[in-house]
Structure 1
Amino acid sequence: MIPLKTLIVIDKTADASIFLQVAEQLRRLINEGLLPAGQKLPGTRQLAELLQLHRKTVIAAYDELLAEGWLETRAGSGTYVATHLPLVRPQFIGKEVDSESVSEQPGFTFTPKLHLIRPLLLMADGLRLDDGFPDIRLAPMDELARAYRSYFRWGNPQQHFGYGDPKGNRLLREELSVFLNETRALRTTADNILISRGSMMGIYLTSSTILKPGDVAVVGETNWSGANMNFQQAGAELLTIPVDQHGIDVEALAVICERRPVRLVYVTPHHHYPTTVTLPPDRRLRLLQLSRQHGFVILEDDYDYEFHYLRRPILPLASADPHRMVIYIGSLSKSVAPAFRIGYVVAPETVIDEMARLRRIMDRQGDSMLEFAVGQLFRNGDMRRHLKKAHQTYAARCAHFCSLVTNELSDGVQFSQPEGGLAVWATFAPEINLVELAQKAKTAGLMLSDGVAHNPPGKWLNSTRLGFASSTESELEQSVAILRKLTRG
């Protein structure tokens, strides 16, 4: 006799109906082989007494399983587990088996993709010199809340809560088009823009649309690993070119183009990731010339264009591209807060249409309410006011942080004050083990990257990004004081 009284546990505080709990647990016992095909079940009255339930509850559970084909009745005999079910041998977890590993590992095989493995960046509590995150305390939360409320008062509810355009909310695309044309000299309409969930999705859509297995994608020797992963996921062969104090070596790219057909070149020309340097005009012009000559696509990731401090920002490559060889990507995640999963892709309309078709099968549409609300922030000027305030704040923090590092860490850290962005690229003295330093800093209450993710294959840079934007000047002083103590201890 199967001990159903101990195997079926009823939780009367759960949301699920009791008869559904009984049915689900009987179904599980059948799946696990504890109730084999052809096994006779207790009568409804008997099982109700065992479980201390009303008989109608057990009848409802049996009816549910009969309707699904798990059970069958035999006239004058009773209720049985259906005989057509396959024989399953019950398996028991012994003491020597790690129950956690049983829940982690599937019953089938698959091949993990090694290029997808990279550390997960999280917003740490306490002091931090992060990868270059914005300060979420500056985000226009009150203005966003008002814009959200207007979403429920405006227009047709069917429009708001039904399916939308995979390209993104029309209001936001129109406002972004105006904003990009005015601030970056682009020549766009709303139809040239697709709203994505951050720049990562934009790079994924571009890679999947432009690249096919075996194509060559070229990136800097030091580069954002998130972009590299996307190109590898698309099946591209990844080639690297050197990066110096002026950014990517465009002449090294020219040499590759003479030897191999190149399909795509990924650049962050405004503030190269991770080194923060700005690509000078002569290299920009040469890159555009090579693109026209050899026919490769330039994927321009302009992740923090709004934050340039020492002079007026240099206009994007896309603004000087009459031949439409540049796909331009940006994001509000760095401008406002990482939780604002709004990025955008700017490209010719036919390319945007194809990306929208691809996006539709992986993520039917974006967050309509968030996109509408952010569109409202652009329309009424709140977003521009926020960006101006953030620019002033981050410029002051950049200057203060660079002064602190110069005065307190000059014997152990080399850096150049960045022209913009949200982080400083710092190289530590050879006698300072950056991995060990990051571990000691964590123990002391300060989070910073160990820089390993920025090392090209076979090289040890002993460098990392020290983000200043997400910390107040007081917090930056405390962070530098911890580094000073650890590097001189």
Structure 2
Amino acid sequence: MLPLNTLIHVNKDSKVPIYQQIIERFISLIQVGTLKKGQKIMSSRKLSELLGLHRKTITIAYEELILQGWLETKQSSGTFVANNLPEIVSEKLIEMPISLPKKAGFNFEQKPVLRREVVKAFDKLHLDDGFPDPRLAPLLDLARAYRGNLIHGNSYVKLGYGDTKGSYWLRQELATYLNESRGLKITAENVLIVRGTMMGMYLLTTAFVKIGDFVVLGEMTWASAKINFQHAGAKILNIPTDENGIVVDALEELCEKYPIRLIYVTSHHDYPTTVTLKADRRIKLLKLAEKYRFIIFEDDYDYDFHYQSKPLLPLASADEVGVVLYSGSFTKSISPAFRVGYLVAPEEVIEHLSYHRRIIDRQGDTMLENAIAELLHEGVIQKYLRKSLREYRERRDFFCELLQQKLRNEVSFQIPEGGMSVWTKFDKSIDLVKTAENALKNGLYFSNGVQHSLSDRNLNATRLGFASSKIEELEKCVEILKKSI
């Protein structure tokens, strides 16, 4: 018998129970071949004495190892390593704790297009990509509604499996809300609940985009959208964007040359420039989609925040032939942490997408979905959006005035009609990457704009989000930005 007391070490300060540490060490010794099949193991009494542990701890570990098939007992003979285990050549002992290898034991393809830095929230000052301020969110109302939906009603139904399309109550409330606020003409059957726009786009590409399909994007676009289509194997075609949104005439030229499958648009507040797609172009885009039978994926990420007058209705409101797949979420309305979004489309499309949704996410967070449905029904979210709109307009005006006063010679911009960020162009003499690095050292985060640069030219521009910062925070942000250039 091997001297197990020298091979098994326990850490009494660890949160892992001692008996579990012993089990894991025995399994490791067997797996590397130090303990061989059929080898006799010292008694629980002897090992407990050598390790200075209670015998019951060792007994529990042995019993579990026997149940798992690593050890076996022979009457009147003792405990042995199970005889039916495969023969393993002894390797160098591995000291506890054993960590999972960093490298996989199998081959797989790594797509460079998927490798992208993850931006995380932190407590420094920030001029982000255009996120809402969660301090304004109706969190107490949401907590009340969530708790109520969690503890009241039929628990078997509420806490069991539900519709793969999402909470029917939320889909009903969303249909009413979108009909009233966006001029849509839909029912609950036209709505699919998703975790957010990213999930909706993934479902779209999985269900409708094949390798080699032609997908059209604005020459400057949301990087996550482009990555989704590239990952699906689509061929990307680009069209320019000007002060009136995407140039639809350029799209028409592409339609005459290629069988376009889909176009991705942010018609209300173009990403990243924030400009609005004008009415004449909207009409022509819908006519082209009808004529050439391609899909319009309309990402309406911040429709509720428009400051000039009543905003233009989405393309989906004028879609008479079923070519628009309309996407929105509460991520940009309330907070990124609340992963509830929606897709709106003809019933046939929603049914088809629900089949695909089921194989990646059986259903969403029913409690959260019902809680949001309750707040929509009560008008709480609508009231919050009206209050936020006033607050964000004030912050936009203050921020733009600050930029004009403090950085008149360094930046240029158009005051955005809506949204939560300012598309800001820096003077060509300014190194925007270095400026962003300096700002971060000084306690301010903002994007260095590299993701918005085009292949043939560096725009030296970025989005500076104002909505998530209070007035006094915006003052500090601009001071640090000026100092960091």
Instruction: With the length of structure 2 as denominator, give the TM-score of the two structures.
Output: 0.94
Distance 1:404 1:28 in 2: 63
Q: 1:446-457 residue pairs with structure 2 within 5 A?
A: 446-457=444-455
Aligned counterpart for 1:126 among listed residues 124, 127, 131: 124
Distance 2:92 2:474 in 1: 55
Q: 1:45-56 residue pairs with structure 2 within 5 A?
A: 45-56=45-56
Distance 2:352 2:453 in 1: 35
SS at match of 1:344: strand
Aligned length: 484
Aligned counterpart for 1:283 among listed residues 281, 284, 290: 281
Q: Is the 8 A contact 1:124 1:447 kept in 2?
A: no
Distance 1:91 1:228 in 2: 48
User: Is residue 2:291 matched to residue 1:293?
Assistant: yes
Displacement after TM superposition at 1:271 (Å): 0.5
Distance 1:57 1:154 in 2: 43
Displacement after TM superposition at 1:145 (Å): 1.7
The equivalent of 1:112 in structure 2 is 110
Counterpart of 2:298, as a letter, is E
The equivalent of 2:8 in structure 1 is 8
Q: 1:273-352 residue pairs with structure 2 within 5 A?
A: 273-352=271-350
Distance 1:269 1:458 in 2: 25
The equivalent of 1:61 in structure 2 is 61
SS at match of 1:354: helix
Provide closer, same or farther for how the CA distance between residues 41 and 94 of structure 1 changes in structure 2, counting only shifts above 3 A.
closer
Displacement after TM superposition at 1:342 (Å): 0.8
Distance 1:61 1:182 in 2: 64
Distance 1:423 1:143 in 2: 27
Instruction: Report the more deviating stretch, 437-446 or 28-37.
Output: 28-37
Q: Is the 8 A contact 2:34 2:93 kept in 1?
A: no
The equivalent of 2:395 in structure 1 is 397
Aligned counterpart for 2:178 among listed residues 161, 164, 180: 180
Q: 1:424-435 residue pairs with structure 2 within 5 A?
A: 424-435=422-433
User: Is residue 2:209 matched to residue 1:203?
Assistant: no
User: Is residue 2:252 matched to residue 1:236?
Assistant: no
User: Is residue 2:163 matched to residue 1:169?
Assistant: no
Displacement after TM superposition at 1:153 (Å): 4.6
Displacement after TM superposition at 1:102 (Å): 7.4
Distance 1:68 1:185 in 2: 62
Distance 2:417 2:127 in 1: 18
Counterpart of 1:47, as a letter, is L
Displacement after TM superposition at 1:284 (Å): 0.9
Gaps of 5+ in 1: none
Aligned counterpart for 1:438 among listed residues 436, 439, 459: 436
Provide closer, same or farther for how the CA distance between residues 36 and 254 of structure 1 changes in structure 2, counting only shifts above 3 A.
farther
Displacement after TM superposition at 1:376 (Å): 0.8
Q: Is the 8 A contact 1:218 1:238 kept in 2?
A: yes
List per-residue Cα deviations over 1:412-433 (Å, max 9, x = no partner): 1111111100000111111101
List per-residue Cα deviations over 1:260-283 (Å, max 9, x = no partner): 111111000101111111111111
Q: 1:261-276 residue pairs with structure 2 within 5 A?
A: 261-276=259-274
Q: 1:6-155 residue pairs with structure 2 within 5 A?
A: 6-10=6-10, 18-74=18-74, 77-89=77-89, 92=92, 103-155=101-153
Q: Is the 8 A contact 1:424 1:468 kept in 2?
A: yes
Identical columns (%): 50
Q: Is the 8 A contact 2:32 2:93 kept in 1?
A: no
User: Is residue 2:252 matched to residue 1:254?
Assistant: yes
- Cα RMSD after superposing both structures: 2.3
Distance 2:309 2:20 in 1: 67
Distance 2:433 2:135 in 1: 30
Distance 1:90 1:455 in 2: 56
Displacement after TM superposition at 1:181 (Å): 0.3
Distance 1:236 1:3 in 2: 62
Distance 2:374 2:235 in 1: 42
Distance 1:177 1:318 in 2: 13
Provide closer, same or farther for how the CA distance between residues 125 and 54 of structure 1 changes in structure 2, counting only shifts above 3 A.
closer
Q: Is the 8 A contact 2:421 2:467 kept in 1?
A: yes
Q: Is the 8 A contact 2:215 2:263 kept in 1?
A: yes
Q: Is the 8 A contact 1:195 1:342 kept in 2?
A: yes
List per-residue Cα deviations over 1:376-422 (Å, max 9, x = no partner): 11001110000000000001111111111111112111111111000
Distance 1:228 1:100 in 2: 40
Gaps of 5+ in 2: none
Q: Is the 8 A contact 1:332 1:340 kept in 2?
A: yes
Displacement after TM superposition at 1:482 (Å): 1.5
List per-residue Cα deviations over 1:90-116 (Å, max 9, x = no partner): 555999xxx999742222222212111
Distance 1:458 1:360 in 2: 41
Distance 1:163 1:69 in 2: 35
List per-residue Cα deviations over 1:172-204 (Å, max 9, x = no partner): 111110000001011111111111111111111
Provide closer, same or farther for how the CA distance between residues 400 and 56 of structure 1 changes in structure 2, counting only shifts above 3 A.
closer
Counterpart of 2:459, as a letter, is L
List per-residue Cα deviations over 1:236-258 (Å, max 9, x = no partner): 22222222222212122112211
Provide closer, same or farther for how the CA distance between residues 22 and 93 of structure 1 changes in structure 2, counting only shifts above 3 A.
closer
SS at match of 1:36: coil
Displacement after TM superposition at 1:294 (Å): 0.9
SS at match of 1:104: coil
